[in-house]
Structure 1
Amino acid sequence: RFNPNVAIYRADGGHMVVQGTSDGRIKIRGVTADGYGQVAEQQRNSRIDNRLISWHRKLGHAGKDVLRRMSEAGVLPDMDMTQDEDCHACKTARMTHESHPAINFQRTREAGELWHIDLCGPFPVRSIGGKRYFLLVTDDYTRYRWIRFLRRKDESVAEIASLMREFRTQ
């Protein structure tokens, strides 16, 4: 049976009383007939940790605003919301590094001066046309891209030469 301050557990003719006190301690008194789970006749005291940081950790690193609302709703005990202990785990999780500075220079002065080329494959499944590779060519100046699909890797040299001829005639 329960009331706001005391919970009584009875088993095998014995009883155990658990009581919360106003100073945040738990008092346990009790005896069971068979000695199972026996608490000696003496009183045992255990302090309840009602610090903000403790509840923050117990509730999966909940934010201060969540804890304040839970406390106001009576779900959590009253606690000092002005406490400002740092949580090492939360600090570590929020760590970031600064981005590398943007490079604001142009390597090339005209289209076709520098191309970036990627040859990818072989892919385990052939395309409908029987191709297993693709060649991606990007012009550094214009960022224009060409993609060519290849059956074999050795077709890449001829395809690059073809793209160069095509580029010069544009």
Structure 2
Amino acid sequence: MWLVDSGATQHMTSSNKYMRNYKTMAPVDVHLADDGVVQAVGTGDIVMSMKTPRGMKKGVLTNVWHIPKLSRNLFSVGRFTKDVGPVTFESDGCFADSKGLKWQLGAREGKGLFKLCMAPMMPDEANAANAIVKKSYGVGIDMTSVKQWELCDGCALGKQTRVSYMKSSPNRAKHVLEVVHSDVCGPMQTPTFGGKRYFVTFIDDKSHFCVVYLLRNKSEVAAKFAEFVAFAETQTGKRVQTLRSDNGGIEGMEGYRFDIGC
């Protein structure tokens, strides 16, 4: 987590894993608000993503100090004001104003603390920084070109998306009652007024017509299936050919083809 700090003279972080252009430096003492002293051992740039009125933008915090013993990452208001523009503090957060664009930098965390509303980006995402430079979206940005980074395996896996579902299945039934789907649910924590704690559904694959029966016991499924078959076959003049179920309560339904586990 990053905190917005109006007293810090530099952006500071305890980890250098998000940094690019990292350089070690001779240790420099940094005096903290609690009178403690820690040492900065390096500097680098961190690509950040931020939400603005124009959507998500990216910027680069330059010359961020690496201080391994720092307990919290600090965003320097003074450094940001010098590099980009003024920061105003209000009751619900702090806000930046640059080139007529105002956006929230931090949200009130409590006890006078403001949590930075930006997130550091993993190395492969920093490749977009060249475009940021050209469009002047940078936060304290170094105007030199950003070099291509190697692909981060974790980021690549995290950005993968599943294949879209098919709009329709190629194996759908061609006639009513050719395939009937069934499922049993229960026991429910709260019974109906009639004391029923289960229900079973029968859905025709072709028409999507659905019938639901309430049950006192799971053992009633076979009887309700027989009731459904009599009703459906009378209404359609067709025969039930296949029952597709997860194997719940099919005892006593002999004489039908079952697709189990579908």
Shorter chain as normaliser: what TM range? 0.5 to 0.7
Q: Report the Cα distance in structure 1 between the residues aligned to 2:170 and 2:145, rounded to whole angstroms.
A: 48
Distance 1:103 1:114, change over 3 A: closer
Question: What RMSD in Å do the two structures reach over aligned CA positions?
Answer: 4.3
Residue 169 of structure 1 aligns to which amino acid in structure 2?
Answer: T
Residue 84 of structure 1 aligns to which amino acid in structure 2?
Answer: Q
Partner of 1:14: none
Distance 1:149 1:48, change over 3 A: same
Residue 48 of structure 1 aligns to which amino acid in structure 2?
Answer: T
Q: What is the Cα deviation at residue 151 of structure 1?
A: 1.0
Q: What is the Cα deviation at residue 124 of structure 1?
A: 2.4
Partner of 2:43: 48
Q: Secondary structure at the match of 2:120?
A: coil
Point out the structure with max Rg over C-alpha: 1
Residue deviations 1:106-127 (CA, integer Å, cap 9, x gap): 3x33212221111111122212
Residue 151 of structure 1 aligns to which amino acid in structure 2?
Answer: R
Q: Secondary structure at the match of 2:44?
A: coil
Report if the CA contact (8 A) 2:25-2:42 is conserved.
yes
Give the number of aligned pairs: 136
Q: Report the Cα distance in structure 2 between the residues aligned to 1:109 and 1:74, rounded to whole angstroms.
A: 59
Report whether the alignment pairs 1:134 with 2:199: yes
1:83 to 147, 151, 154: 147
- Higher alpha-carbon deviation: 160-169 or 76-85: 76-85
Q: Report the Cα distance in structure 2 between the residues aligned to 1:29 and 1:158, rounded to whole angstroms.
A: 82
Q: Report the Cα distance in structure 1 between the residues aligned to 2:137 and 2:165, rounded to whole angstroms.
A: 46
Q: What is the Cα deviation at residue 47 of structure 1?
A: 4.3
Report whether the alignment pairs 1:121 with 2:116: no
Distance 1:79 1:119, change over 3 A: same
Q: Report the Cα distance in structure 2 between the residues aligned to 1:97 and 1:52, rounded to whole angstroms.
A: 28
Q: Report the Cα distance in structure 2 between the residues aligned to 1:96 and 1:60, rounded to whole angstroms.
A: 22
5+ residue gaps, structure 1: 6-23, 31-35, 40-44
Aligned residue runs from structure 1 range 1-170, under 5 A: 46-50=41-45, 59-61=119-121, 64=126, 68=132, 75-78=139-142, 80-85=144-149, 86-99=151-164, 103-106=169-172, 108-170=173-235
5+ residue gaps, structure 2: 1-6, 11-22, 30-35, 49-59, 65-118, 236-262
Q: What is the Cα deviation at residue 27 of structure 1?
A: 5.8
Q: Report the Cα distance in structure 1 between the residues aligned to 2:37 and 2:179, rounded to whole angstroms.
A: 80
Q: Report the Cα distance in structure 2 between the residues aligned to 1:97 and 1:150, rounded to whole angstroms.
A: 38
Distance 1:48 1:91, change over 3 A: same
Q: What is the Cα deviation at residue 147 of structure 1?
A: 0.8
Report if the CA contact (8 A) 2:200-2:215 is conserved.
yes
Give the TM-score, by structure 2 length. 0.39
Q: Report the Cα distance in structure 1 between the residues aligned to 2:38 and 2:175, rounded to whole angstroms.
A: 87
